[in-house]
Chain A
C-alpha cells in the first residue's frame, strides 16, 4: 500500500474513533433533556449522573477530532483547505456548539443555582445536538461531492449543503448518536437510570436502524464500490444486533453493536469516497484525490513514524482511564453540589 493510501486509512480511522467515542458523548448530552427530565430535586441528580458517565473521558474523546483535523492538514493539505473553507458556516456552527459544550460541562457545578444550571444544560444541549446533526450533513456532502472548480475552490453556497441525501446523513448520525448514548448510559449506570436508559434505547433502536439502513443503501447504490457491500452487510448485521440486544436489555452487546454500526457507517463513507477525497460535481476532472492533495513522501514518512509510536501509547492510557472509571453510577452516589451560591452571602 502506498503511503498516500495508508494515510487515507489513518484519517478514516481517526474520524471513526472520534465518532464512536464522541458519539455517546453527544448522545449523553442530548439525553439530558429526555432521561434528565424529572421533577426536582431528582431531575438534577439524574442529569448529574448522565454527565458523570462521560465526566472523566469526554475531553480525551474530543481530542480525536483535533488529531483528525491536524492529521488531515499534515497529510492532505489540499483536502483540509478545500473542505474546511467549503463547510465554512456549518463548521462555524459546530465550533460554536463545541465551545459552549466544553464550558457548560465544566462550569455547571461551579455555582449552586437553579437558573445557572439551566443555562448550562442549554449549552450542553446545543453543543450536542448541533454537531450530532451537522457532522452527518458534512460527511454525506463529502461523499456526494461539492461544486468545486479547477482551482479546487468551492463555488456553492450554504444551502447547497442541505440536499436530501445530506439531510438523511444528518438524521442518521443524530439517531445513531442518540441510541449509542442511551446504550452507553444503560451500561454505565445502575438502578432506575439504567432501566430508563434501556427502555429509551429499545424504543429508539428500530427507527435508528431504518434511517441508517436507508442512508447506507442510498450511499451504496449512488456512490458505493462492489467491495463496500461487505461494509453494508456488517453494518446491517450490527443494526439488527442493536435492535435485538436493546429489546433483550443486554446493554453490553447493544453497545458493541452500536459501536460497530457507527464505525461501519463511517467506514462506508470513506470507502465510497476512495480514491477521491472530495469529488467535484462540476467536472470529474476537478476531483480532489488522494494523489493530488497529499503531502510529500518525506512528510508522510515522518508522520507515519510519529503515529506508529504514539497511537498505541494513547490508546493504552485512554484505555486505562476507561478502566479506572469502569464502575456503574447511581443517583445515590452523586454528592451534594459543592458549587458556590450565585451571589456571595454576607455573614
Chain B
C-alpha cells in the first residue's frame, strides 16, 4: 500500500475507534445530569442510585474517549502535514477553540464532579455535571464545524501570496450551513446511543429481576432452592421477590421510561436533521449523494434504490433490484419529478470545471452505497428497543419477560454501528477530496479552494506510517477489550445499595476524614 493508503487507514481506524466512545459520552453526560437533577429536586434516592450507577459506566467510557482523542489533535500534523499547511489558517481556529472552550471545561469539572461528592455543596456539585454535559456538547460543535469546512469550505478567499486559503469571515465558518445540520444530526445520534444504552440496561435488569422473583416464588412452592439462579449482584443477593419487584417499579422503570422517551425524541430528531442534511448534500456535494444511490446516469424523477447487486466500486455492472420510484428526487428537494445528476455526468463536469482530465472524482460506490443503508438499518435497533420497551412498561407495569431482556441486549451494538456507518459514509463519500471544492456558491472563485487527499499527506516512508498504524491499532484493540470487560462487569454488578445514601457534606475542618472518592 502507498503512504496515502496507510495514512487513510490509520486516520479511519483511530477516528472510528474514537467515535465508538464519543457518542456515549456526549449523550450520557446530559442524561446523568438530568438524573442527578431529579434526585436534587425530589430527594428520591432511587435517582441518586441511578446517577451513581450510570456515572460509573460514564467514567469508564470517558477515560478511553479522552485517551483516543489526544491522538487526533496531533495526527493532522504527523500524517497530513501538507493538508495542515494548506488549511491551517481556517482549520486550526475551531480546533484551538474546542480545546479552549470545551476541553478545559469538561476535564476540570469532571474532576470536581468525581471527587466532589460530599465535599462540594450539592447545588455546586450538580452544576459540575451540567458543565461537563455542556462541555462535551460544545466540543462536538467545534469539531463538526472544522469537519464541515472540509466538506463545504466557506468564509475563505484565495491568498495568492501564501498559495492557500485565508479566512476572511469567521462567522461564516462557524455558521456553515453544513455545520448547522451536521451538528444536530451528530448530537441526536449521540443522544440516541446513550438513551438506547440506558434503556437496554434498565430493561435487561427488569427482566433479570422479574425472572429471579418468579424463580424464588417457584422454589418456595417446590421447596427446592437449587432452581434459583446464581447472582453476584448486591441488589439481588438475599433480596425477596417483593424487594426485586420494588426495585423494578421504583428504580428501573422510571429510568427506562425516561430513556425510552429520549430514544423516541432523538430518533425523530435524526429523521428530520437527516432529511435536511440530504437536501444540502444534493446541492453542495452532488457526487456524494449520487454515489450513495449508485445513480450512474442522470435521471428525472429518480428512484431510490433499496437493494442492488453486482457491485464493483464503479459504474460497470450495477443492477438495482428493488427501487422506490421517484423517491430519490423527493429526498433531493422534496419534489418527485426533479432531476438528479448521476456519477458519469458529474465526472465529466468536474473534469472540465477543474481542468483535471483523467482524475477519478467518484468515491468508492460500494462503501458509500452500503454504509448509507447500514446507518439507517442499524438505527432500527433503537426503534425495536423503544417500541418494545414502552409496550412492556405500559400502564405502570414493571415486569419484563426474559426473552425481551435478551433481545434488547442484541440491540446494544446497533446505535454504535449506525454512528460508525454514518461517519464512514460522510467521510468516504467526499473522496477523493480532503477539502471538497465548493460547488454551490459559484460567485467569487470558490473552485480554487480544494485539495485532493493524496496532496495532503506527509512525505513519510511507508515503514514509518506502518509502525504507527500497527502500534495504534494493537493498543486500541487491547484497550477496547479492557473497556468492554469493565463496562460489562459494572452493568452486571448493578447499582449498589450504599449509593442510595447521599454523602454528607462534611465540615471543612475535619482533616482526617476518609475521602468520599479516591482513585
Give chain A's interface residues, CB within 8 Å of chain B. Answer: 48, 51-52, 55-60, 62-63, 66-67, 69-78, 80-85, 88-89, 91-92, 95-96, 98-100, 102-103, 105-111, 152-153, 190, 295-296, 298-299, 302-303, 306-307, 310-311, 314, 317-318, 321, 324-325, 327-330, 332-335, 340, 344-347
Contacts and interface: CB of A to CB of B under 8 A. Distances in A.
A324 to B, nearest CB: 7
Contacts of B98: 70
Nearest to B512: A332
Interface stretch (B25-33, B229-237, B334-342): B229-237
B76 to A, nearest CB: 7
Contacts of A310: 100-101
Contacts of A98: 67, 70
B448 interface: no
Contacts of A91: 74, 78
Given A66-B70, A73-B76, A95-B74, A307 B514 contact: no
Contacts of B183: none
Which of B98, B237, B479 neighbours the largest number of chain A CB atoms within 10 Å of its CB?
B479
Q: Lowest 5 A-B CB distances belong to which pairs?
A: A77-B88, A84-B77, A74-B92, A106-B63, A73-B92
A99 B493 contact: no
Nearest to B459: A153
B68 interface: yes
Contacts of B464: 88-89
B471 A59 contact: no
A174 B479 CA distance: 27
Given A59-B111, A88-B468, A71 B116 contact: no
Given A70-B92, A103-B482, A333 B514 contact: yes
A75 B112 CA distance: 32
B144 to A, nearest CB: 15
Interface of chain A, helix or strand or loop or mixed? helix
Contacts of A327: 511
A302 B174 CA distance: 12
A67 B104 contact: yes
A74 B519 contact: no
Given A73-B92, A77-B85, A98-B67, A84 B100 contact: no
Interface string B99-110: 111011101111
A59 B62 CA distance: 11
B114 interface: yes
Given A296-B89, A317-B105, 11 more contacts: A52-B515, A70-B98, A71-B92, A77-B89, A84-B84, A92-B471, A109-B518, A295-B92, A299-B167, A314-B104, A332-B512
A98 B73 CA distance: 13
24 contacts: A63-B103, A67-B104, A69-B74, A70-B98, A70-B99, A71-B92, A71-B99, A73-B77, A81-B84, A81-B88, A84-B77, A85-B79, A88-B78, A89-B464, A92-B471, A100-B67, A102-B66, A103-B67, A107-B486, A296-B167, A302-B93, A318-B104, A334-B515, A340-B490
A315 to B, nearest CB: 10
Contacts of A62: 70, 107
Interface residues of B, number: 82
Given A80-B77, A99-B479, A60 B107 contact: yes
Nearest to B508: A327
Given A91-B78, A321-B112, A111 B73 contact: no
Contacts, number: 256
A153 B84 CA distance: 13
B492 interface: yes
Most-contacted residue by chain A among B95, B108, B120, B231 (CB, 10 A): B108
B431 interface: no
A176 B84 CA distance: 33
Contacts of A330: 512
Contacts of B460: 85, 88
B406 interface: no
Dominant SS among interface residues on chain B: helix
Contacts of B166: 296, 298-299
B63 A66 contact: no
A122 to B, nearest CB: 13
B97 A306 contact: yes
A6 to B, nearest CB: 15
A296 B467 contact: no
A52 B92 contact: no
A63 B135 CA distance: 13
Nearest to B518: A52
B92 to A, nearest CB: 3
A110 B486 contact: yes
A153 B60 CA distance: 40
B34 interface: no
B114 A324 contact: no
Interface in B409-452: none
B354 interface: no
Which of A83, A98, A106, A324 is most buried by chain B, counting CB atoms within 10 A of its CB? A106
B64 to A, nearest CB: 6
Contacts of B167: 295-296, 298-299, 302
B327 interface: no
Contacts of A51: 519
B85 A317 contact: no
Interface in B44-100: 59-60, 62-64, 66-68, 70-71, 73-74, 76-79, 81-82, 84-85, 87-93, 95-100
Given A67-B103, A77-B84, A102-B67, A324 B159 contact: no
Nearest to A344: B232
Given A111-B486, A298-B166, A335-B515, A73 B88 contact: yes
Contacts of A105: 63, 519
Interface in B178-196: none
Nearest to B65: A102
A56 B111 contact: yes
B458 interface: yes
